[in-house]
Amino acid sequence: MVLSLYAILFLALHLLPGMKSSMVHLNKNGYDGVVIAINPSVPEDEKLVQNIKEMVTEASTYLFHATKRRVYFRNVSILIPMTWKSKSEYLMPKQESYDQADVIVANPYLKYGDDPYTLQYGQCGEKGKYIHFTPNFLLTNNLPIYGSRGRVFVHEWAHLRWGIFDEYNVDQPFYISRRNTIEATRCSTHITGINVVFKECQGGSCITRPCRRDSLTGLYEAKCTFIPEKSQTAKDSIMFMQSLSSVTEFCTAETHNMEAPNLQNKMCNRRSTWDVIKDSEDFQNAPPMTGTDSPPRPTFSLLKSKQRVVCLVLDKSGSMDSEDRLFRMNQAVELYLIQIIEKGSLVGMVTFESFATIQNYLTNITDENAYEKITANLPQAADGGTSICSGLSAGFQAIIQSNQSTSGSEIVLLTDGEDNQISLCFEEVKQSGAIIHTIALGPAAAKELETLSNMTGGHRFYANKDINGLTDAFSRISSRSGSITQQAIQLESKSFTIPGKKWINGTVPVDSTIGNDTFFVVTWTIQKPEILLQDPKGTRYETSDFKEDKLNIRSARLRIPGIAETGTWTYHLLNKQAKSQVLTVTMTARARSPTTLPVIATAHMSQSTTHYPSPVIVYAQVSQGFLPVLGINVTAIIESEDGHQAILELWDNGAGADTVKNDGIYSRYFTDFHGNGRYSLKVHAQAKKNTARLSLRQKQNKALYMPGYLENGKIVLNPPRPDVNDDTAEAEVEDFSRLSSGGSFIVSGAPPAGSHTHVFPPGKITDLEAKFKGDQIQLSWTAPGNVLDKGKANSYIIRISKHFQDLQEDFDNAALVNTSSLTPKEAGSIEVFEFKPEPFKIENGTKIYFAIQAIHEANLTSEVSNIAQAIKFIPPQESSVPALGTKTSATSLAILGLAVVLSIF
């Protein structure tokens, strides 16, 4: 059961919109549909486009040979931003957009670093989100540092497409091998070089000295650097150092370095990169091409983004009369038109029942009068059947008859009804080139809705009974152009059931990255409440300041004049009714200025569909520009069709579902299934009491920057890169609040709500560390849960051996440690356990390996943890490190006595 459960989890390659929905597909060994998008803030430069073409062309051939004649790039679209001048060769995009591109070209935030990287935070074998190249990387000569751009692209493509990880580790660049040698963390170990410390550098030359060993760890000192020889014979690996001319392959099972403490070994259970690639979906359908010819050169399409075109296609059938659905739809649409849609967008509206009516052709949203032209036609009565295809066809007509193309336009389709005729218009939808965002309102909405979103790259949402689900969905449907400063950001979205004659109070922080175009909206179900809103400086806004809509859709809105004050805003609402009623509060804002990148939060599930008992992972990314925001509280709210809500705190601790600690990606397993059907996801990210900080460090999963190479016995240096010192690696971020819908996902095969079964084991421990403390061993790790990363495990099994392979290949027969005194802590806690490693004799040079399993009370067992190593070691009185220029790949350790060492595999 456990093995099949994890096989399902790790092989799941579905990505839910909200993360992204790549259009790439493999067709007879060639990749079609690759999208490379240039950010609107990048200045126009023909050389940039030319260099992108050259990079992909070179990468195609390199990739073809690296995959043993299996895959290459056939068709690539380059998305030109609206900010560039139009040219005759620029075509109209279809579903291609910046926010769903496979590769983005954008400046780094804070002008820090040009290292190419892939935003990748799924499990082993799961696709990444996007590759990020800076314009500077694409326009300047980086050949000595990273190797050719084509090689770098293949390194990053392997992250993005196949879910493999780097074979180096900047945080642990060296480790002690089973042969008692200090090795550079790499794959393969056939790559040779020297280890030096740079003392003084002027111009292109440096004074170096041999590395000294740290007396605590037995490893090299922190400043030690591995400098590879320029001329190598090793062919692998692309995921370590693609810059070496000899490197043309991925590490295979034969050449893979299982000992290296890198992310590939941690995430993929010490499997080689080639083994993971071979198991990918791509390679199940791509046998090697015959012959000896190189693949055909890629073809490129230049597509230019267009003005945003959105048509609302809204259900007004008879079923919309129940549960106030028509009212709630109108409230959410009004919010979307006034607060969310970007100025300058073209918006139309269609309503449908058994037939469809075009209520508004495309209107340019320039001012409040434009909004009112559309809101005036919102449906006031519900009647008739449900014909979704009629609504979509009318939506296309509204766009075409406004002299716009459906290609690249967006349809927002909202319905609560069943319709078994949707498949009849699938072909029309495909041919339109439009993007369909679907909002399923209530549990009876047509089951085929998601197919429309999936085939067009649109978002998909599920909203249940309260207005917040709808407003959250509409708030997420923002511009796909990459212009983040123009997008509306949701700060608050709360619903309260207020007893008669009672007050409710609340606060919302407004941080300095936002404040422009700020709205505070209150809705009610019976009677307008008394409203009091106060800004941080004490300015009060009362009920009379709020504008009530003309359509009697029970909402009142205040647009804050100018720029909203930074600090804590306070609101008070009084239910003037004798009966209780539901009140909601929504607050949105845009970036403070076009040059201020706001803090944003996005969320998604690891899979768009899951079949019980396969768990899914909730992901939330919190960032400012490309920099992660750390140290905040992130909560997921997941609601099933029967209205059951699961509240889940997400973690960025590098354990359990979380790939990397402190990368601004907050994750957690979700196992609290409450029946089958649609589930909605919403995430609330909050920074309180000045705990938030901005990480200025380089990201994981990036191309390795090489400071230099050893050539003919001499070190040839590369230009230095901008770096961040440890004392300035983080910047403070003030308190903020963000809400974001993560769309919907579908569950099947789940037991009825309330039935309890034990199917999920404790999570795998991935951060086990070991060290000697005198004659004692100290182990530390992050506690898993009883159910993956939830609750407390029942017990632990710890085994030890003097041989790495014993734990790797035959864990159950290795020596057992007495853990009777060890009581598991709550998931996410730090566990520390000390013991005497009997029956082993401890002497100078003793090396011991450790691994651990967690046990559920129903005897479900976690996977075996990573293998940790401890060595009893004291460095010699005098260093015996080889002198500069010695051509070795490792340094032998002289084992003389008492010390500590840790290493993670």
b/e map 405-433, b = 16+ CB within 10 Å: bbbbbbbbbbbbbbbeebeebeeebeebb
pLDDT band at 112 (very low <50, low <70, confident <90, very high): low
Mean pLDDT (the chain, rounded): 88
Residues annotated catalytic, as ranges: 156
For residue range 655-664, list pLDDT tens digits in order.
989 988 999 9
Residue 615 banded pLDDT, cuts 50, 70, 90: confident
CA atoms of 375 and 358, how far apart (whole Å): 13
pLDDT band for position 143 (cuts 50, 70, 90): confident
Return the structure tokens found at 293: 């010819």
Instruction: Find which of 155-169, 364-378, 876-890 is predicted with most confidence, using mean pLDDT.
Output: 155-169
Mean pLDDT, range 753-764, rounded to an integer: 82
Tell me: pLDDT of 109 over 80.
Answer: no
Under the banding of pLDDT at 50, 70 and 90, the label for residue 550 is confident
| pLDDT, tens only, 393-413 | 999 999 999 999 999 999 999
Which of 509, 629, 665 is closest to 120 using CA atoms?
Answer: 665
Which structure tokens are listed for 621? 């990314």
In the chain, the N- to C-terminal Cα span, in Å, equals 26
How far apart, in whole angstroms, are the C-alpha atoms of residue 280 and residue 270? 17
Mean pLDDT of 782-788: 94
HSE-up of 755 (CA within 13 Å, CB side)?
Answer: 8
Please determine, for residue 794, whether its predicted confidence score (pLDDT) is greater than 50: yes
Give the mean pLDDT of 856-884: 74
Give the pLDDT confidence score for residue 844 in this predicted structure: 73
If pLDDT is split at 50, 70 and 90, which confidence band does 713 have?
Answer: confident
- H-only helix segments in 236-290: 238-241, 263-267, 273-278, 281-284
Looking at mean pLDDT, say which of 280-284, 364-368, 869-873 comes out highest: 280-284
pLDDT digits (tens, 9 = 90+) for 679-700: 999 999 999 887 888 887 766 7
| pLDDT value, residue 898 | 25
Dump pLDDT digits (tens) for 327-348: 999 999 999 999 999 999 999 9
pLDDT at 882 over 60: no
590-602: average pLDDT: 92
